[in-house]
Amino acid sequence: MKPTLLVLAAGMGSRYGGLKQLDKLGPNGATIMDYSIYDAIRSGFGKVVFVIRKDFENDFRQIVLSKYTDSIPTEVVFQSLDSLPDGFKCPTERTKPWGTNHAIMMGQTAINEPFAVINADDFYGRNTFEVMAKELSRPRDRKGDFCMVAFEVGNTMSESGTVARGVCEVKDDQLVTVVERTAIGYNDKHEIVFTDENGMIQHLTPETPVSMNMWGFTPDYFDYSNESFVEFLSYNINVPKAEFFIPMVVNEMMTKGLATVKVLKTKSRWFGVTYAEDREGVVEKLARMHAEGEYPDKMF
């Protein structure tokens, strides 16, 4: 059974301004998402499921899905503030989405096989999809047999501002913990730093492994997520900015002995457009890849 790719595409990209997912960054008008879908197809993925906002559906089907029709089966699921378990109602003042793991949960109606999770507006590279597809395609004899691709934080930074990353502790190629850090940036010495929960400045070496939201799960992940989300809401339903992040659920499962997460290595370099000022550099990188023959002029 071929694995599925779950693409988180419901965000607006507030810092960059506008829908990053549809920005034509490639030399022939391709979006970053086009490169991910192309790489996923040639790496052996069998289906793509997109998590989007309902109000974006018509444009998304016309502008995005139509180009993939002859290349790979696709489905669309929707993330909304009202997508909550029985007994919970979204507060009227809530405007922020419920987070990345809530977005993953929207895919459970469309996915019954091992699946990878990616952000729509991140470039992961061909080798990343190859190692993920290979890992997800192997036989499994237990639940909670997960994986992730880790990148070196120094290869994921933006010169234009701070970034959010899941900082990982890894031992013997197994994930020990992952902690979401929301304001990693450079100090005046060009060292990589962040402020921890106690207000202390912490340093990261450029080689520190971080999660860029490329995870590999099996369908049992949905079952635990549903249970965990109920507990999360019982404490955070009235906290306007509380988010249900993927690392929260992964850490819970590992702590309880319900899951292991194999950390996969990749030769690919991650890049993306976190800020508008990053755009020019991304356009140049993609143009170079086309010129070197990594991608054809027409991918779809």
The 3-state secondary structure of 60-107 reads: HHHHHHHHHCCCCCEEEEECCCCCCCCCCCCCCCCCCCCCHHHHHHHH
Q: What is the percent of the chain where pLDDT is above 90?
A: 77
Report which secondary-structure segment, H or E, holds 145: strand 145-152
pLDDT at 265: 85
- Res 15 pLDDT > 70: no
Where along the chain do its domains lie?
4-291
Q: Indicate the pLDDT class of residue 159, thresholds 50, 70 and 90.
A: confident
Q: What is the mean pLDDT of residues 128-146?
A: 96
- Res 8 pLDDT > 70: yes
Q: Could you give the 3-state DSSP secondary structure of residue 263?
A: strand
pLDDT at 56: 82
pLDDT at 20: 57
Least confident range of 15-29, 241-255, 270-284: 15-29
Q: What is the mean pLDDT of residues 264-285?
A: 88
CATH class for domain 4-291? alpha beta
